[in-house]
Amino acid sequence: MLWLPPTLIALFVYGLGQGVVKQYSVDVAPARYCFYFFFAKLIVYGGYFLSEGGPLPFAGASLGQMTPAVLAYVLEGLGWIFYYESIVAGPITIVGTLSAAYAAPTVLFAYIFLGETLAPIQYAGVTLVIAGCAGVAYAPPSPGSKVTSKRWMLLAALALTCWGAWQTLVKYTYSNTPFSEPQMGIFSVCGAFLTLFLYGVIRGRGQGPGKKGDVRKSALPMGMMAGGDLGVLIATKSGPVSVVTAISGAYPLVTLAYARFVLKEKITGFQWVGIGFVLVGMVLLST
C-alpha cells in the first residue's frame, strides 16, 4: 500500500490549508486565492520535477497522450473557480458541506469509465467517509447570512462534477500513457495557468487592488493545498482513485481540529457524529 502514506499526508496538509483559508477568508478575495494558488503549484510541482529529474512531458509525447492530462487539470482548476463563485452566490454552510462530498462523483466515474471496483466493505467505507465529511463540514448558518443568487446550486454541482472528472482522468492518464508523477505535475501547472491564473487576473481586476498582507495570508494556505495535490497525484499512480479520493477528501477532520484549537470554535454534536463516521469509514477503506 505505497499509496497510503502520500494520501494521509495530503489529508493532513489539505486540512491545515483549508483551516488557514477559513481564518483569512474574509480578508482575501477568492480571485486572489486562485491567482496565488497557481504560483504555489508552480513552485511545488516545479521543485518536485527538478528534484526528480527526467525529461519534460512534451518531448516525444503525442497530442492524444497529452490531451487527457491537460484536460484533467483544467477540470481541477475549473472546479476551484466554480467552488469559489458558489461561495459568493450561496450559503457557505451548504456549499462547504457539498464540497466535502466530491469523492462521490469520483467513485461513480471510476466505476463507469475505468471499471474500478472495490470490495463491498470498502464501498461502505466510502459512504461513511462522504457522509461524515458532510457532517463535519456543516456549520449552522449565521442569522445575518444572505443568499445573493440561486445559481450557487449549479455552480456547486459543477464544482463536484469537475473534481470527480479530474481525479478520474488523472488515473486514466496514468493507466494509458508513460507519464511519470513529476511529468504529471508539469501538466498540473499548465492546467492551473489556463484556469486559476487567468481567472485570478481577469476576475481580480474587478475586485480592485489587493489589500496589504494578501500575499502573506495566501502564500501559506495555497502552498499547503498545492502540497496536498502533490500527495494525491503521487498516490493515484499506484492506488485505487476511489479510495485515494475518499481518504484525502476527509480533510475536514483536520480543518475542524484547526478551527477548534487555533480559532477556538466549538465542535457541535452533529460534527462529532461526522468525525465518528469518517474514522470508521477510513478503517473500512484500509482493509
- DSSP string computed for 159-215: HHHHHHHHHHHHHHHHHHS---HHHHHHHHHHHHIIIIIHHHHHHHHTT-SPPTTHH
Q: What distance separates the 2 farthest-apart alpha carbons in the chain?
A: 58
Which position has the higher pLDDT, 54 or 172? 172
Q: How far is the first Cα of the chain from the last one, in angstroms, to the nearest whole number?
A: 11
- Lowest mean pLDDT of 26-35, 41-50, 168-177, 256-265, name the range: 26-35
Please indicate, yes or no, whether the overall pTM of this predicted structure exceeds 0.85.
Answer: yes
Give pLDDT, residue 154: 86
For residues 77 and 224, the answer to whether their CB atoms sit within 8 Å is no
How many beta carbons lie within 10 A of that of residue 8, not counting itself? 17
- 253-277: per-residue pLDDT in tens? 888 888 889 888 888 888 899 899 9
What's the whole-number average pLDDT of the chain? 87
Average pLDDT for 183-193: 97
> Backbone phi, then psi, for 228, in 5-degree steps?
-65, -40
- 86-123: per-residue pLDDT in tens? 776 666 556 666 676 788 899 999 999 999 999 999 99
d(CA 46, CA 223): 13
In the predicted model, is pLDDT for residue 16 greater than 80? yes
For residues 197 and 42, the answer to whether their CB atoms sit within 8 Å is no
Which residue's C-alpha cell is 454552510?
93
d(CA 159, CA 157): 5
Q: Work out the pLDDT band at 188, boundaries 50, 70, 90.
A: very high
d(CA 130, CA 192): 26
Which position has the higher pLDDT, 208 or 178? 178
Give pLDDT, residue 155: 86
Which position has the higher pLDDT, 158 or 97? 158
Which residue's C-alpha cell is 463516521?
277
